[in-house]
A and B are shown apart, each in its own frame.
Chain A
Amino acid sequence: MDRKRIEWLFFIVFLLIDLYLGVEIWRSPINLSNNDNTQSTSIRAEMRADGIDLPAHISHKQQSGYYLAAKKRNYLSGKIASLTEVNTHFSKSDNVLTGTPKVLVSLSGSHNQILKQLDNFKNNSENVPFGANFKYEPRMSSANAYCYVQSTDYGQVYDNNAQLTINVRNNAIVNYTISYMGPINAVREPQLIISAWHAIKAMYTDREIVNNSRVIQIKLGYSKLTEVRGSTILLPTWLIWVENKTTKNITVKRVNAFTAQILQAGNSYSVQKN
């Protein structure tokens, strides 16, 4: 009888040990494998565990980017005389021109048709100065405000000083505001930049993507770095649209595409959802 009790005791103790070891192996909490794919999968899994949703495909491919520069000048006030179809107001302090159509500009049809009509309006130099240099940015637009960003040979510029917003109400253009950086040129030859996936990783490891959020879009664009010797210096940045799943607020964050550092203060802003 004693022998049987001892056997039962051994059986239970080793069964518990087996269960413990089995659970430990099954949990495999940290995978420090150095395989890049595994590491990438692991970070994806960590992000998923934090409630962060990512787009299905994020590029791992490195591209090239430039340091760009634009001379700081007042480009808009000189164009006011040629804006014969709109009443204008120019704010010298923030270098923003507001134009209000003299006659009603109606918009009709589908969203694409409205965009085409808005394109025709902005590309007419009697309505909007340098309008043809601006490209529609749906992620920054809302139902009543169509947002356009300055486009260059090198890519699009995402900055308050390079933006056109056409305000619409009751199927007609109310007015527009425009700021323009002027011609933009490369300061140096192109250099390699980080991939979109690298930018996402950098943001996540820097805790710039909050839990329970959704990365909606990742896009390469140029952002202002600094002003020096009368020029605005721009650099390539990964712009990452992040939506808070609870509040539905969308924030645009920027990652320096040369160094993978997060661009802070003044470089991230909230946008309205369509």
Chain B
Amino acid sequence: MKFKFKFGDFFLMLGTLLVFGLSIVLWIFVMTNDQYFSHINQTSNVTQQARNRLNNSVYDLYIPTSSYGFKNGQLYRLYDAKKNLPLEFTKELKGIKFKNLNVASTSRSEYEHMLNNPDYIQLTFPDEVSIKLFTKQGSSASGQKFRRVFISNSNNRIYLGNDQTMTVYQIDLARANFAKLRNYASHARSKTPIKLVRLKNDYEVFYTKGESWRIYSYLTNSQTDSYFVSRLLGTTNVTARSSKKGWVTYSLNYYTKLRIPKSGAKKHDFLYTKYEKNKNLAMHEQLLDSVDYVHKVGLSEQDLRFFDTNGMAISYTNYIEGLPVFTEQHTPQIKTTFTPESMQVAFNNIDLQIPIPFDGQTRNLPATDTVLQELVNKGLKKDQIQRIIVGFRMVKDNSHDHLANLIPTYYVKAYNRWQSLDEWQKQDLSVLNKTNKEGAQ
């Protein structure tokens, strides 16, 4: 009996130790499993989820906007209302595996040989983007950028061109098939003759003769102020303060603010500011982080595309039939600016909502050489002209409350500033040239 008693005592002790040990193990498991504490890390989850959304939509914002091809030795801007060539390319990209990346050439002569080689279809981004964004490979710190994609007859490789450095990169591919794209390009219904001319940093499309451009119309939609306040600042602890200059500033705290125009001010420019110490981000990271904020604003992103960058600021605007849309204040739709102390998002709340069938209205624009000559004659220094493009100026149609017409217009970037041709012609360039000269000294 005495032995039996000790045996039971031993098992009771062992059992107690076991359940005690097990409870510690289970407790540690619960404490270290983040799914049980996801509510505590809500902010980081939101960021991570935004990044996941980004993975799906990054190609929607950063996609080529123009395509070019040769016929009988002449370079043409390709356009087909039924086949969106850059979109086809983007769809094709999703199944491709990128392999080796090598520098193929770095000389101007070889770069220009590529530009004028009729064996390639060219797709271009409006400005340089990081190669990593495109291939999801390589180091973001390497800073390798490109603007132009050259598609040859081979499905095993493509070439990426950096207009600024005149570097050509070769990327080997697996599972690529550009046959459909080549077929679309060769059968593109609209072919506008162009030439590529080097301006300050990039090769720009010059239309070799005057062209008749279509005027498009859209029904527009503007989200309410409260929509943007709730998306950007939330719904609690937000205070509002009006200024005499026609703005209302909503603040979540001292560091996070949204400035919106007062109702009835007939302005549509919103400015979100978040004061925070920012790391010096590589271009690739900046392009990705910027998209998070674009999503956060909540504008319609159907036609929204990456448009321009100057290192600190990244602009996005709507692209209609391959051309960018400028608001009446000649600003892009949305612009994110990263500084060491703050992050700003400036945006226009007018969305292009419903396209209206083309009613036959067109506008004639002269050849780009003529425009360049006019600007030079006016006093704009040729070496300060960075870009010349045809874009749409969004103009309110007075016949309808929510109707806007998109008028084809030349837009010129000089002195790091976008303005329409008319605005440059009215500008006092002597002051600008003098300021720039002093700045250079």
Contacts and interface: CB of A to CB of B under 8 A. Distances in A.
17 contacts: A7-B12, A11-B19, A14-B22, A18-B26, A21-B29, A24-B36, A25-B30, A34-B48, A34-B49, A34-B52, A187-B355, A188-B355, A189-B87, A191-B84, A192-B91, A226-B354, A229-B357
Interface in B14-33: 15-16, 19-20, 22-23, 26-27, 29-30, 33
A4 B12 contact: yes
A274 to B, nearest CB: 35
B279 interface: no
Interface string B310-326: 00000000001110000
Interface string B346-372: 000000001111110000000000000
A160 to B, nearest CB: 20
Contacts of A7: 12-13, 16
A22 interface: yes
A5 to B, nearest CB: 11
Nearest to A230: B357
Contact of B20 (A10, A187, A231): A10
B71 interface: no
A186 B23 CA distance: 66
Interface string A33-76: 11010000000000000000000000000101001010100000
A186 B81 contact: yes
Contacts of A36: 52, 56
A173 to B, nearest CB: 37
Interface residues of B, number: 47
A247 interface: no
Given A32-B38, A189-B79, 14 more contacts: A14-B20, A15-B19, A18-B22, A25-B33, A33-B35, A64-B87, A64-B91, A71-B357, A186-B82, A188-B321, A191-B302, A225-B354, A226-B219, A233-B355
Contact of A25 (B26, B38, B82, B90): B26
A191 B82 contact: no
B16 A259 contact: no
Nearest to B357: A69
A69 B357 CA distance: 7
- DSSP class of A's interface residues: helix, strand, loop or mixed? mixed
Nearest to B49: A34
A126 to B, nearest CB: 33
The 4 closest A-B pairs by CB, nearest first: A21-B26, A14-B19, A32-B38, A69-B357
A7 B359 CA distance: 90
A147 B66 CA distance: 42
Given A21-B26, A190-B83, A259 B19 contact: no
A25 B355 contact: no
A225 to B, nearest CB: 6
Interface in A207-242: 225-226, 228-229, 231, 233
Interface string B288-304: 00000000000010110
Contacts of B423: none
B356 A14 contact: no
A7 B38 CA distance: 37
A11 B15 contact: yes
B51 to A, nearest CB: 8
Contacts of A185: 357
B35 A22 contact: no
A60 to B, nearest CB: 10
B374 interface: no
A14 B15 CA distance: 10
A263 to B, nearest CB: 13
Interface string B187-214: 0000000000000000000000000000
Given A11-B15, A36-B52, A64 B84 contact: yes
A32 B46 CA distance: 11
B94 to A, nearest CB: 8
Contacts of B83: 189-190
A231 B356 contact: yes
B12 to A, nearest CB: 5
Contacts of A136: none
A4 B9 contact: yes
B45 A32 contact: yes
A130 to B, nearest CB: 20
B80 interface: yes
B270 to A, nearest CB: 21
Contact of A192 (B22, B60, B216): B60
B151 to A, nearest CB: 19
A104 interface: no
A28 interface: yes
A74 B350 CA distance: 35
Contacts of B35: 28, 30-33
Nearest to B300: A259
A143 interface: no
A191 B303 contact: yes
A259 B299 CA distance: 11
Contact of A21 (B13, B20, B30): B30
B93 to A, nearest CB: 12
Contacts of B84: 64, 189-191
A36 B36 CA distance: 19
B215 to A, nearest CB: 13
Nearest to A8: B12
Nearest to B94: A62
A271 interface: no
B60 A21 contact: no
Interface string B48-84: 1100100010001000000000000000000111111
Contacts of B356: 187, 228-229, 231, 233
A228 B30 CA distance: 59
Interface in A170-197: 185-192
